[in-house]
A = this chain, B = another copy of it.
Amino acid sequence: MDTDALTDEVASRFADTPDARLKEIMTALVRHLHAFAREVRLGEDEWFRGIDFLTRTGQACDAKRQEFILLSDVLGLSMQTVAINAGRAADCTESTVFGPFHVPGAPHAEHGDDIARGARGSPCVVRGRVRGTRGEAVQGATIDVWQADDDGLYDVQKTGLDHAQARAVLHSRDDGSFEFRSIVPQPYPIPTDGPVGELLAATRRSAWRPAHLHFMIQAEGYERLITHVFRRGDPHLHDDPVFGVRRSLVADWAVQPDGTARLDFDFVLQQTTSRDLGA
């Protein structure tokens, strides 16, 4: 049986796909998937273990847990997708993985509010400005922020909690500034009680993410920015299981005279490419 001819036959079966992009993706997927199987000479038992692993990964997903995103994260596919689509100017804030713990419709917070709302951790203040690459202030930017608490859990991972914690949506002021109070992020392990945890254990990989604060920033006329800010000095910066760390995203939560930690971090957005340039 000719294994290369079989790949050609499968790829050709997508010839009538009306959507050209879907055809391109499926054809490439088939070629890479078959090339992988041939390269490792995938055994039938190994194939079945793969099927079983993927099945259990799908079944571990529910309204609050997305094990397939976690799998994509630990295989570096999520970060690879971010990197492929980055293409921003060198002076913009770098992107990183979205992660599975964002929740749409988080409560609105005013400038200076404490968004922890009871989440356990050391208090801190986060301040900064949102601006464009020419230094212009970006006012009214929507700033989604979310993080885990001292137990290493996001609010959505807790049972019996009836309100959002350490999660909010703010808006930048006229001068692009924003400020909120929260808790200092701590390192935490990604969920290890599912198939992804088995994979990390079997491959002796660390499940611990370095401490970080998530941001998603959107403003009219600018590309959406999805990123983290990581804590300098965290022992897990070199082996983040989801490959999210970029040097430019590491910053200090400096302890102030009053004992409160403070993070100062500015975000630089890429202007949207004008579609009617010269029209």
Contact = CB atoms under 8 A, between A and B. Distances in A.
Contact of A10 (B7, B10, B76): B76
Nearest to A61: B55
A180 interface: no
Given A36-B28, A51-B72, A55-B68, A83 B6 contact: yes
Contact of A75 (B1, B29, B42, B78): B29
Contacts of A44: 81-82, 85
B54 A84 contact: no
A19 interface: yes
Given A1-B86, A28-B40, A204-B18, A7 B47 contact: no
A91 interface: no
Given A2-B83, A30-B75, A57-B58, 8 more contacts: A7-B76, A10-B243, A17-B202, A17-B203, A23-B203, A28-B36, A42-B84, A56-B58
Nearest to A94: B1
Interface in A1-32: 1-3, 6-7, 9-10, 13-14, 16-19, 22-26, 28-30, 32
Contacts of A41: 84-85
A30 B76 contact: yes
A12 to B, nearest CB: 10
Contacts of A94: 1
Contacts of A56: 58
The main secondary structure of chain A at its interface with chain B is helix
A113 to B, nearest CB: 30
A203 B1 contact: no
A34 interface: yes
Contacts of A217: none
B81 A6 contact: no
A239 interface: yes
A46 interface: yes
B72 A47 contact: yes
A205 interface: yes
A47 B78 contact: yes
Contacts of A6: 76, 79-80, 83, 243
Given A77-B47, A78-B47, A202 B22 contact: yes
